[in-house]
Amino acid sequence: MYIDIVPNRKSPPAILLRESVREGKKIIKRTIANLSSLSIEQAQLVRRVLKGESLVAPEACFDIVNSKAHGDVDAVLLTMRKLGFDHLIGSRSSKERNLVVAMVASRILNPESKLAFSRSWENATLGELLGIEDASEDDLYSSMDWLYKRQGIIEKKLAKRHLSPGDNVLYDLSSSYFEGKQCPLGKRGYSRDQKKGKLQVNYGLLTDRRGCPVSISAFSGNTSDATTFLPQVERIQNDFELASVTLVGDRGMISEVQLNVLRERSGVDWITALKSGAIRKLCDEQVIQLTLFDEHNLFEFTHADFPGERLIACRNPELALRRSKTRVSLLEATTEALSKVQGMVKKGTLNGADKIGVRTGRVINKYKMAKHFRLDITEARFDFEIDVDSVSKEAELDGIYVIRSSLEKKQRTTNDIVLDYKSLSQVERAFRSIKTTDLEVRPIYHHDENRVRTHLFICMLAYYVKWHMMEAWRPLLFADEAQEEKRKRDPVAPARRSDHAEAKVRSKKLADGSPAHSFQSLLSNLRSIVRNTCRRRDADASEPCFVIDTQSTKMQKKAYQLLKKIKM
């Protein structure tokens, strides 16, 4: 008897248990049983048994000495190899370089403090694969100091990879809070983390037009957005040696002061937006006529106040509705709070114009609705009312924004400029990833200024690796695969997923019926691939060990195959 595996065109092969018998001069195959319900692996095992082999359970032959999570580590290191990451960090192999690679990988796999990381070598294969499984916390700090001196060189390499003359460069600023009060960078400022009373550090991120990070710069926590912008222009043109570039930043980042400087520099163009006061002035002058939005959601124009610039007025009805609802809720909350203050004054528990003014000012500043209220404060009385005209005037501009650019029409179409400005959302996506459960840049415990800068740089490098992993894994994630179609859509309309992506979101499944994943859930799935260190049963301690990895599932194999296609 023997096992015969018969190909079956597009269907799975037939697995048949057969025997051969002689009838006269002919040998005839006779099928005894159809075993097609077995897997190919099971059929091969039956085939070996029929050949007389004695199959023994693996656990009867050797002992598992140790087991470590391996699949997710292997995926991250595979991505790094495809990106030439080790040569990006340093051209020569060294312990410091391996430790930096490990710290970057750790931010993706399991972000934790340097002390906790130095005590986690036994949990996964990262340390042994990089040859640093005996590294201490001090070794990690020493490698951070080594990396600090190389940041400029590494960022130049990244710029050379991802930026070309004339390209768009996206720039934005964010902040994260400290634990402790000893770092010189730690200052009180506008907290994007809503952590009142905490010192913070600001950091600016430069990316290419796709959102792939190139450079990160740290600033004191009280540094304003606009003052960080011109130093980035200097770096792009001088350090990165880009003769021409188009800077894309929001209206708080690229102010009129910065634009006056940029106009004097050759090779620098920009895409940004007007502030609300300038938009109101254009509307009052009838340069922007709201009736024009009845038929079109954008139109381009010029104005003497902005010489040499193209202005593009856009109106998004969904954004208008959201702003209207937000304003109504803020007006209601402010009215409720002011009514409580009014009641206190009437009861006599709050009196004196100064005290009443302080209390009402606290309410007005909290909701930022001062421009929409008229206040009447005396020593023993407090009245207020909503300024209906002010509310109506602001409501006229709901959903309207104006993009400004120095680019000529032969360089960019109107639609392209709008899409380029909206691509700033890619930098916001990077900040979300760096600050949240993905890479966990915060809270920051380092006290030394240079190590704070290096910590931020490590998080940026981790996002660089993760960005490429996410792009490669789009077919397995909830992410939209139709990226090229985005450039063809209505530039003003809210972003919409493709039909294929919507189907993934609704069904939570891919086209083949397997589960769709988030980046973190797919990485967690790969973590189930374990590397077992084994030794022959009854062997003495001096006998060498060997390793056996658990087998990959179809989904896991697909994830590895996609990562192998990554190109620098």
Model confidence pLDDT, tens digit, residues 291-301 = 888 888 999 99
* Average pLDDT, integer, range 407-414: 93
Among candidate residues 27, 50, 28, 47, the one with its CA nearest the CA of residue 39: 47
Per-residue confidence (pLDDT) for residue 2, from 0 to 100 = 82
* Domain membership flag for residue 386: yes
Q: How far apart are CA 120 and CA 136, in angstroms?
A: 11
Q: What is the pLDDT of residues 494-526, one digit of tens each?
A: 888 888 889 999 999 998 899 999 999 999 999
Backbone angles phi, psi at 238, to 5 degrees: -95, -55
Per-residue confidence (pLDDT) for residue 239, from 0 to 100 = 93
Q: What is the pLDDT of residues 142-179, one digit of tens each?
A: 999 999 999 999 999 999 999 999 999 999 999 888 87
Q: How far apart are CA 243 and CA 159, in angstroms?
A: 13
pLDDT tops 70 at residue 59:
no
- Six-digit token pair at 529? 């691939």
Per-residue confidence (pLDDT) for residue 57, from 0 to 100 = 65
Q: Which among 362, 395, 428 is the end of a domain?
A: 395
Tokens 């080790």 — which residue?
Answer: 86
* Domain membership flag for residue 38: yes
The residue type at 562: L
Mode of pairing for the β-strands spanning 245-248 and 168-177:
parallel
Among candidate residues 322, 384, 389, 380, the one with its CA nearest the CA of residue 354: 380
Q: Which class for 266: exposed (0-12), middle (13-18), buried (19 or more C-beta within 10 A)?
A: exposed
First to last CA, the chain: 54
Most confident of 29-43, 58-72, 125-139: 125-139
**pTM of the full structure:** 0.84
* Domain membership flag for residue 507: no
Q: How far apart are CA 281 and CA 269, in angstroms?
A: 25
- How does the average pLDDT of the chain come out, rounded? 90
| Full residue range of the structural domain in which residue 12 is found | 2-55
HSE on the CB side for 252, CA within 13 Å?
7
Is residue 180 a contact partner of residue 446, using CB atoms and an 8 Å limit? no
* Average pLDDT, integer, range 3-20: 84
Q: Which class for 29: exposed (0-12), middle (13-18), buried (19 or more C-beta within 10 A)?
A: exposed
How many domains does the chain fold into? 2
Q: How far apart are CA 462 and CA 104, in angstroms?
A: 5
* Average pLDDT, integer, range 200-229: 93
Q: How far apart are CA 193 and CA 187, in angstroms?
A: 14
CB contact set of 334 (below 8 Å; sequence gap of 6+): 363, 364, 367, 369, 372, 373
* Domain membership flag for residue 323: yes
CB contact set of 390 (below 8 Å; sequence gap of 6+): 371, 372
183 strand-pairing partners? none
* Domain membership flag for residue 568: no
* Domain membership flag for residue 42: yes
* Average pLDDT, integer, range 111-120: 90
Q: How far apart are CA 180 and CA 456, in angstroms?
A: 17
pLDDT tops 90 at residue 10:
no
- Six-digit token pair at 360? 């009402």
* Average pLDDT, integer, range 33-41: 85
* Domain membership flag for residue 43: yes
The residue type at 196: K
Q: Which class for 171: exposed (0-12), middle (13-18), buried (19 or more C-beta within 10 A)?
A: buried
* Domain membership flag for residue 327: yes
Is the preceding omega at residue 494 within 30 degrees of 0, hence cis? no
Q: How far is CA 219 from CA 38, 222, 223, 359, 557, in A?
A: 63, 8, 6, 34, 43
